[in-house]
Amino acid sequence: MAMSFPTGMMRTISVVAFAALFASSIFAQQRNFDLVRLSDDAYAAIALPGGDAAANAGFVITDKWVCVFDSHLTAEAAKELIGEIRKLTQLPIRYLVNSHYHADHSHGNQAFPENVELISSHAAWQGQLNKDLPQLQRYQQLLPEQIERLRKELNAPASAMRADEIRQELQQREQFLSRIRGLEIVLAGITFDRTLSLRTLNREVQLLFLGRGHTDGDIVMWLPEERILFAGDLVSNGALPNLMDGFSKDWIDTLAAINKMKPEVIIPGHGPTSDDAMVSTLRDYLQDLRKTVKSGMDKGATLEDLLRSIPIPARFKEFRGQQFYPGNIERIYRELLDEAAAEKKATP
């Protein structure tokens, strides 16, 4: 169902982070993703840099219907995904699954027909309602003011040296505003807490909540016959994770649960497909960063001290998403404070 924008809600996601999702797709290329065949009937749509997809998606074709996992960042990318499905089958797209509520995985929802059943975890549904919708409303209020400011700055004599830079920024914000004015946030009509199986006589598609991680409501799509896992942003390949809405301690346990499933192919939220080696790499990153931050805190370091003194480990220096590193340190710092407070409260 399409939701109107509620009023009076607090903005809980960084405006800058939300805008960054769109920044590279304003001047989008013709193709938004590469379609990768994983098995006879399972496919991954691996996002291309600079395109409208922004994050990976995928789908599985059964004998009765098609199930799509994530819908990319924009309706344009989602329509391209639907077009690729139609080249392969005329079976109905019956299910669309959102791995979590973040824009780059769910803002293509509106491109799908109304008779498609949209599925998410209940926590992801709440995230869209309480975070995504207010964030979008906030942007609709801020952008016209920013555009007007840039127009005035462009006409000011003192800005002549920066005219080209200002024009480019103005064009990006105008296109961004145009895009979000046409955006409908479409929420799931079916939600679940732990597991949900989608079945035909010949096929089972499992949707699983394995624990908190990138958000409080990440789910995966598991094809047990082929041991193929669509992991969403619980896993990223060659990129640092974003802990802005994450839970590092739980995420470590969730990644261990993925390893126990022994997937042969994993489709991450970002980056190319791989095997479970990338899961172990991400788990190492989170464990080591928690250990490093805690060690500093035990020695009396403040958050500012930690941000200055903890470099990115050498094995991760070539990863994408370096901008997330300071935020990851801060998030873990605050998690550890909360954990210590909870432990102290529980101790007689």
The domains located in the chain, with CATH, are 1-209 (3.60.15), 235-348 (no CATH)
| Ordered DSSP codes for 285-341 | HHHHHHHHHHHHHHTT--HHHHHHH-PPPGGGTTSB-GGGHHHHHHHHHHHHHHHHH
Contact partners, residue 223, CB within 8 Å, separation at least 6: 39, 42, 60, 205, 206, 229
Q: Mean pLDDT of all residues in the chain?
A: 88
Mean pLDDT value across residues 69-90:
96
Per-residue model confidence (pLDDT) at position 2? 34
Mean pLDDT value across residues 231-249:
97
Q: What is the pTM of this model?
A: 0.85
Higher pLDDT: 173 or 288? It is 288
Query: Structure tokens of 88?
Result: 């392969």
DSSP reduced 3-state for 258: helix
- What are φ and ψ of residue 344, in 5° steps? -65, -40
Whole-angstrom distance, CA of residue 207 vs CA of residue 219: 7
Mean pLDDT value across residues 310-331:
96
Query: Structure tokens of 115?
Result: 């008779």
Angle value at C-alpha 189, between 12 and 42, nearest 5 degrees: 95
Torsion of CA 227, 47, 179, 191, to 10 degrees: 10
Q: 2-58 pLDDT, tens per residue?
A: 333 222 222 233 333 444 454 444 444 578 999 999 999 999 999 999 888 999 999
Higher pLDDT: 152 or 276? It is 276
Per-residue model confidence (pLDDT) at position 60? 98
pLDDT of 347 > 70? The answer is: yes
